[in-house]
């Protein structure tokens, strides 16, 4: 049976520590591993934090991992018993956003961040890179994602 391309699936879940996630399309769930994800498609260098003093910033200088809610093109491996992606191509570049932590409850592991236009995003500790805990008032860079139809801060870097 040949591999079947499906267009316009969305990243429904991505677990950075385990390097895998799930793609969704009209009730269909497809497993993918990071090794089949092609992040460079449509990617452009992200802006640096406003206060950035580093000449090299790995966060800004490399393509981001899968972002919740982003559209991807998927080739499904039909030779597998379970639905697995053989290839996942990013269709558009994720939007890098500068924001400020509005609230964060370290005990519960979540809070909210506002971008410079005042839009609010849910912030979960699982999305924060480098294992740091965000504090209210901190500058951060993140990618705008969507989870359960609500804005979410993904792949978050604390700037200071």
What domains can be seen in the chain, in order of their start residue?
4-90 (2.40.50.140), 96-158 (2.40.50.140)
Question: What's the token pair of residue 157?
Answer: 């870097």
For the entire predicted model, the pTM comes to 0.80
CA dist 67 and 44 (Å) reads 15
CA dist 153 and 92 (Å) reads 17
Whose tokens are 């700037």? That residue is 159
Distances (CA, A) of 104 to 16, 50, 71, 114, 148: 21, 21, 29, 12, 20
At 153 the three-state DSSP class reads strand
Look at residue 48 and tell me whether its pLDDT is greater than 50. yes
Report the length, in residues, of the chain.
160
* Span of 36-40, 68-72, 119-123 with lowest mean pLDDT: 36-40
- Count of CB atoms situated within 10 Å of the CB of 100: 15
- Per the model's pLDDT, the better-predicted residue between 155 and 102 turns out to be 102
Average pLDDT in the chain? 85
Look at residue 132 and tell me whether its pLDDT is greater than 50. yes
């Amino acid at each position: 049976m040949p591999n079947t391309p499906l267009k316009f699936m969305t990243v429904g879940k991505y677990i950075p520590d385990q390097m895998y996630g799930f793609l969704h399309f009209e009730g269909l769930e497809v497993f993918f591993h990071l090794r089949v994800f092609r992040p460079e498609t449509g990617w452009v260098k992200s802006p640096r934090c406003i206060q950035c003093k580093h000449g090299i910033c790995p966060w800004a200088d490399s393509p981001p991992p899968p972002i919740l809610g982003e559209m991807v093109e998927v080739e499904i491996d039909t030779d597998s018993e379970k639905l697995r992606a053989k290839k996942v191509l990013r269709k558009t570049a994720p939007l890098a956003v500068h924001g400020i932590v509005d609230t964060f409850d370290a005990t519960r592991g979540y809070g909210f961040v506002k971008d410079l236009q005042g839009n609010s995003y849910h912030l979960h500790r699982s999305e924060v890179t480098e294992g740091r805990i965000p504090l209210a008032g901190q500058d951060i860079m993140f990618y705008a994602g969507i989870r359960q139809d609500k804005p979410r801060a993904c792949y978050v870097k604390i700037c200071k």
